[in-house]
Amino acid sequence: MIRPSAARSHVDTLAEYLKERLPHHRRDTLRRVAEVLFGILQAESTLHRKIALHIDREATPASITRMVARTFHETNLTPQDV
């Protein structure tokens, strides 16, 4: 498993990369997408509660799980974005 501080720097790097390519999306939205992508890779699952275990935030697991669900449902990435 990746150390939390290393994971945070990877998330920030990916979020900046996404912002360069998707300037029409908000920076905080793209950071959330980056967190969820790394969570999916670490959890090796798409179950929201399993992804939430791999996201380093000061919040309850239930709150992080809701954030993951919102990311999947509200990000509005188009096929061209992906």
pLDDT digits (tens, 9 = 90+) for 23-56: 999 999 999 999 999 999 999 999 999 999 999 9
Q: Is 76 left (phi over 0), alpha (psi -120 to 50) or beta?
A: left
Q: Which pLDDT band holds residue 2 (cuts at 50, 70, 90)?
A: low
> What confidence score (pLDDT) does residue 75 get?
86
CA-closest candidate to residue 39, choices 49, 57, 28, 52 = 52
**What secondary structure letter does DSSP report for 71?**
H
Q: Give the containing element (helix H, strand E) for 73.
A: helix 61-74
The pLDDT of residue 71 is 93
Q: What is the pTM of this model?
A: 0.84
Percent of the chain with pLDDT over 90: 74
